[in-house]
Amino acid sequence: MESFENKIAVVTGGGTGMGRELVCQLIAAGAHVAMCDVSQENMDETRRLAAASEQRLTDHLCDVSSETQMLAFRDKALEQHQSDHINLLFNNAGIGGGGSFVEGDRDEWERTYAVCWDGVYLGCRAFMDALVASDEGHIVNTSSVNGFWASLGTTQAHTAYAAAKFAVKGFTEALITDLRLHAPHVHCSVVMPGHIGTSIMENSSKVLGRPWGMELPDEEVAVVRERMLAAGLPVGNVPDDHIRQMLADRAEAFRTQAPTTAAAAANVILDAVRNKQWRVLVGQDARDLDRLVREAPEEAYEKSMIEKINALNHLGALI
């Protein structure tokens, strides 16, 4: 798909981050786009930035983990774009959460997994017939470096998000052969970003209904403090509000100081679609981490791997 001119694209999670940038760049390239998100306010800002008419860009409130809502999104999108087909499906929506399977909250775990995995599965289920009905189509499923390395370091559990992203990667790789056999005009890509400058921390808290920033309850502050102490950070006598502010500052730094911007990530993804590239590592940090894990898979979850990663100065100071 060398050109996106007059192609019809669907983007989930189009209200912020990579989803917003995908929408804006697709509109700029001449595509017609149907986006969904759980925040109308965020989609309104995407529309403003994309400077697109309602005929070119439609928005839909939709929880991607709900099949009912995804089917309604599909039906409305096809109706509004007056089409029986789409050409591009970007299953981009995702949240972070559900760290510990052993001690964490089950509802948060399952909610995180549902958005990050079911959102991809249901997106493909809902729009597959419309993709097959096109003359050329492409599915882009967003996994993560946590789709091949299930870790955020040795002091923090990361099970729900990693499990979902591994599922996305495996499913997309299996689709390659399935599509070649049964719909050879439709291609697929699995995207594995490293650290991208997005607001995923704040957005995840909103979706999960968790307090954020200065509203963080004392018991959660205590958990964060213990984690910091285990990492050797001198926060034993730091006031709770200082811990809360440190977390807020960290989220802001995650967005503004990332090695790869959301706009740059979207550009890499769209270039991969043009080139029919099925495996898309986004960012030098993702490429380096992929290499390190492939070189020493048995070492992947040891402290020595964290030291190798930190030596590259990509992902911040993992512990």
Q: Which fold has domain 8-198+260-311?
A: Rossmann fold (3.40.50)
**In angstroms, rounded to a whole number, what is the distance separating the alpha carbons of residues 298 and 77?**
46
Tell me the two tokens of residue 286.
Answer: 């993702």
List the chain domain ranges: 8-198+260-311, 210-257
pLDDT at res. 173 = 98
Residue 204 to residues 86, 296, 317, Cα–Cα distance (Å)? 29, 32, 22
Question: Which of helix, strand or coil describes residue 59?
Answer: strand
pLDDT at res. 116 = 97
pLDDT at res. 245 = 74
**Rounded to a whole number, what is the largest CA-CA distance in the chain?**
64
Its pTM stands at 0.87
Q: Which of 200, 193, 166 is nearest to 286 (CA)?
A: 193
pLDDT tens per residue, the chain (319 residues)?
889 999 999 999 999 999 999 999 999 999 999 999 999 999 999 999 999 888 899 999 999 999 999 999 999 999 999 999 999 999 999 999 999 999 999 999 999 999 999 999 999 999 999 999 999 999 999 999 999 999 999 888 999 999 999 999 999 999 999 999 999 999 999 999 999 976 665 666 566 666 556 677 777 778 777 766 666 678 788 888 877 777 666 666 655 667 899 999 999 999 999 999 999 999 999 999 999 999 999 999 999 999 999 898 875 556 5
